[in-house]
């Protein structure tokens, strides 16, 4: 994943992020305290926020998620450690606000995402998301998901974006200045 890591210095310190994941075949995995869970073949998103500095900054959080070898701490660490899971894209909005639940609600309501594992990545969720890992049983092309996520974030005025494709897709970095920043 060398190409992925080289883009991380361009990230802001704080923001919300969505990892677009692909699983080419069904797997059963032990997800820490959640126990053994089934993950069907297909596309997934994992949305989180990184609003701190240093080790809790956006740069460090994304770099950690992209590393295969690490201590398994968060639910997502168990999934990302599986050799079958690939990170297809990382979409980031620079913000100081916690927007992960808003993004999750949008993906469920508008995009028809399903909760594959109740409680996954949502142990501190206050908006009853059910899970911050979502599954898209009807989506075949990752580009469609990326376009919709970027469009949603653009519609939330005051945010700038970083978008990069990984693994098997054309690498691309796009930064869009914030439109109509809040006054």
Considering the domain boundaries, does residue 181 fall inside one?
A: no
Q: Which two tokens stand for residue 104?
A: 């999750």
Residue 161: which domain range?
2-176
Considering the domain boundaries, does residue 183 fall inside one?
A: no
DSSP 121: T
Considering the domain boundaries, does residue 167 fall inside one?
A: yes
Considering the domain boundaries, does residue 76 fall inside one?
A: yes
Interatomic CA distance for residues 43 and 138, integer angstroms: 9
Considering the domain boundaries, does residue 126 fall inside one?
A: yes
Q: What is the mean pLDDT of each run of 10 residues along the chain (183 residues)?
A: 50 86 96 97 95 86 88 95 92 85 93 96 89 93 86 69 50 42 35
Instruction: Record the pTM.
Output: 0.84
Helix (H) or strand (E) holding 161: strand 160-165
Q: Looking at the 3D structure of the chain, how many domains does it have?
A: 1
Q: What is the pLDDT at residue 163?
A: 57
Q: What is the pLDDT at residue 166?
A: 53
147's CB contacts (< 8 A; 6+ apart) are none
DSSP 81: T
Considering the domain boundaries, does residue 182 fall inside one?
A: no
Q: What is the pLDDT at residue 126?
A: 84
Q: What is the pLDDT at residue 157?
A: 43
Considering the domain boundaries, does residue 38 fall inside one?
A: yes
Contact (Cβ atoms closer than 8 angstroms) between residue 89 and residue 20: yes
Cα 150 → chain centroid: 12
Interatomic CA distance for residues 120 and 117, integer angstroms: 6
Considering the domain boundaries, does residue 145 fall inside one?
A: yes
């Amino acid at each position: 994943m060398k190409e992925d890591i080289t883009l991380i210095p361009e990230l802001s310190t704080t923001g919300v992020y969505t990892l677009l994941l692909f699983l080419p075949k069904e797997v059963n995995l032990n997800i820490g305290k959640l126990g053994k869970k089934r993950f069907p073949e297909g596309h997934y998103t994992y949305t989180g926020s990184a609003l701190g500095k240093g080790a809790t900054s956006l740069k460090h959080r994304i770099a950690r998620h992209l590393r295969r070898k690490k201590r398994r701490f968060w639910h997502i660490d168990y999934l990302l450690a599986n050799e079958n899971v690939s990170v297809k894209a990382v979409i980031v909005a620079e913000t100081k606000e916690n927007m992960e639940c808003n993004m999750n609600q949008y993906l469920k309501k508008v995009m028809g995402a399903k909760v594959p594992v109740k409680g996954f990545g949502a142990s501190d969720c206050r908006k009853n998301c059910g899970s911050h890992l979502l599954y898209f049983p009807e989506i075949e092309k990752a580009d469609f998901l990326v376009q919709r996520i970027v469009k949603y974030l653009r519609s939330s005025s005051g945010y700038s974006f970083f978008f990069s494709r990984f693994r098997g897709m054309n690498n691309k970095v796009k930064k869009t200045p914030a439109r109509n920043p809040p006054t």
